[in-house]
Amino acid sequence: MKAFKLLAIGLMLLFAGSAQSQLSINVHLGTAPAWGPAGSDNVQYYYLPDVQAYYDVHTSMFIYISGNYWVRSRHLPSRYRNYDLYHGYKVVMKDYHGNSPYKQFKEHKIKYAKGYRGEKQSNMGDRKQVYHQRRPVVVHSNKKIETHHENSQANQKKQKHSGNNDKGHGKNKK
């Protein structure tokens, strides 16, 4: 009877360990970005022809050439800081399953040249939702924050209304 209990406990621990490892496999897979093309849920890579780079959905990293090397980064290089991922075309790499999509870069560069547009794409998410989620929001009380231009215009109006137009009086005498 004692051996049976030990065997039962051992089996329960074995099944619990396999359930735990299966859970961790599911947790490590990345989710597609909101700017990703709708209907491409089960793909690992996009090719971005306009910037000649790849995006790895599982790791949330861009892959692009820097000098003579392929680099993985959370962001595109600074020269593409104004590139609009929501409007740029994404080639969904359905048939590639590996870790080095850039091995086919020469073919991709020719087949999907800069400016390439295939079938019409819609994004998985909305730009406004993502903007507020990813960008820190800074609150400066309820007071309007004026730009330098607005501030100088306001000062000119104050001077006109106060009657101090600096007509040769004070420091700014010519």
pLDDT 10s digits, 61-118 = 999 999 999 999 999 999 998 999 999 999 999 989 899 999 999 999 999 999 999 8
Rounded CA separation 130/135 (Å): 8
* CB distance 76 to 103 below 8 Å: no
Longest CA–CA separation in the chain, Å: 109
Residue 83 sits in which domain range? Answer: 45-134
Rounded CA separation 91/54 (Å): 9
Q: Does residue 100 lie within any of the structural domains? A: yes
Rounded CA separation 62/76 (Å): 6
Name the domain count of the chain. Answer: 1
Q: Does residue 174 lie within any of the structural domains? A: no
Q: Does residue 33 lie within any of the structural domains? A: no
Segment of 21-25, 47-51, 149-153 carrying the highest mean pLDDT:
47-51
Rounded CA separation 174/164 (Å): 16
* CB distance 53 to 88 below 8 Å: no
Q: Does residue 152 lie within any of the structural domains? A: no
Q: Does residue 106 lie within any of the structural domains? A: yes
SS (H, E, C) 73-103: ECCCCHHHCCCCCCCCCCEECCCCCCCCHHH
Instruction: Determine what percent of the chain is predicted with pLDDT higher than 90.
Output: 45
- pLDDT band of residue 123 (cuts 50, 70, 90) is confident
* CB distance 22 to 29 below 8 Å: no
Q: What is the average pLDDT score of the chain?
A: 73
Q: Does residue 40 lie within any of the structural domains? A: no
Q: pTM above 0.75? A: no
The residue ranking higher by pLDDT, 28 or 36, is 36
- pLDDT band of residue 128 (cuts 50, 70, 90) is low
Segment of 28-37, 50-59, 157-166 carrying the highest mean pLDDT:
50-59
Written as six digits, the tokens of 68 are 């003579």
pLDDT of residue 129 exceeding 50:
no
